[in-house]
A = this chain, B = another copy of it.
Amino acid sequence: MTTPRMLKPGDTIGILGGGQLARMIALAAAPLGLKAHIYAPEDGSPAFDVASAHTRAAYDDLAALERFAGAVDVVTYEFENVPVYTADFLARHVPVHPGPHALGITQDRLEEKEFVSGLNIKTAPFAAVHDEAELEAALNRIGRPAVLKTRRFGYDGKGQAIIREGDDAAAKFAHIGRHPSILEGFVPFEREVSIVAARTEDGRFEAYEVTQNEHRHHILHRSTVPADVSPAVAAVSREIARRIGEALGYVGVFAVEMFLVVVDGAQGVIVNEIAPRVHNSGHWTLDGAVTSQFEQHVRAIAGWPLGAVERYGRVEMTNLIGDEADDWLAVLEEPGAHLHLYGKEEARPGRKMGHVTRIFDED
């Protein structure tokens, strides 16, 4: 581990990925006096519009990566599917936060589950699936219903299939492409919650309050805070995030998605997934907390003090998916609603086009 290095105003943050998360990181970096350089393969990436520089190149273009590394003072990313060898290559030239190690673990659902349960933190029961025989054995052990997921590259419900009583398991495996997979026991949860936290290289840690999340068609629809969880669950969630961050040697903002379960009348949480990046369920912090998750991420990767995480009231964040973003004028007309559009040109179904935050006085 290298000595923590502190950025100074005028320095440049390199961001891999050019979508809305990169865009909001860049927007948060500017008031702190930092420049953003976006690296993304797609033309017209939304983050290009708010950055001082951008490189349009593939993640395996070593010449472009080397030039990028030379032009920035730290590298971060907006999504967990950046190839680990890309992060490794960059890390030889410039600090990369979070590091390739955290990236490698969190981009493989099986490794991630093994890592979490290795910390004695509860997850759903799970088993590796490479072929039909392993799938059958896993189903016998875990039972049905169960969720079959590709180990890599799944998000927003993609690369997943539920196997219920009577389903043809092999057909479901074929449906998700027969990729190396993980079978997970179905968790009868009360609700979905998450915790967004930040850690610095020298171990400082801050977590926002637990957020309650409502999905529609496997895509986050709404996050609300405070979540309807017991003080014990709030404390446990924070401790889970702290231990995960510590064990990963994590630098930056990350999210832990959890299922809230009730056993014998007592609330408990089961970790579903770690996102090694700023997270949709933390978007409420943009208007609802003293420091947004985007500023917090910038502070953490810059080696700076973390900001205060207090919230301004009861906060509600609603995603604008696909043509829901056509309602932008109604949002502008609503007193106190904060519109956040991502600058995407085409509103495809299921595509996250923006979000709205609303802040209410506490009851």
Q: Which residues of A contact B (CB under 8 A)?
A: 9-10, 23, 26-27, 30-33, 35-36, 48-52, 290, 299, 304-305, 307-308, 310, 312, 325, 328-329, 332-333, 335-336, 338-343, 345, 354
Contact = CB atoms under 8 A, between A and B. Distances in A.
A328 B33 CA distance: 9
Contacts of A329: 304-305
A22 to B, nearest CB: 12
Contact of A341 (B27, B31, B299, B343): B31
A340 B31 contact: yes
Contacts of A49: 30, 35-36, 51-52
A339 B31 contact: yes
Given A49-B52, A52-B50, A30 B336 contact: no
Contacts of A48: 52
Given A30-B27, A52-B48, A35 B343 contact: yes
Nearest to A36: B49
Contacts of A305: 329, 332-333
Contacts of A343: 9-10, 30, 33, 35
Contacts of A335: 290, 307-308
A242 B33 CA distance: 35
A200 to B, nearest CB: 12
A27 B35 contact: no
Contact of A290 (B35, B333, B336): B336
A299 B334 CA distance: 13
A305 B345 CA distance: 23
A23 B27 contact: no
A9 B333 contact: no
Given A52-B49, A312-B312, A345-B10, A32 B304 contact: no
A312 B308 CA distance: 16
Contacts of A290: 335-336
- Which of A49, A312, A328, A338 is most buried by chain B, counting CB atoms within 10 A of its CB? A49
A205 B175 CA distance: 58
Given A10-B345, A312-B312, 7 more contacts: A23-B30, A30-B49, A32-B341, A33-B342, A35-B343, A290-B336, A304-B332
A53 to B, nearest CB: 9
Contacts of A51: 49-50
A325 to B, nearest CB: 8
A299 B340 CA distance: 13
A294 to B, nearest CB: 11
Nearest to A30: B50
- Which of A31, A333, A336 is most buried by chain B, counting CB atoms within 10 A of its CB? A31
A52 B48 CA distance: 7
A9 B341 contact: yes
A342 B23 CA distance: 18
7 contacts: A27-B50, A31-B340, A32-B341, A35-B49, A50-B51, A305-B332, A307-B335
Contacts of A9: 325, 328, 341, 343
A304 B354 CA distance: 18
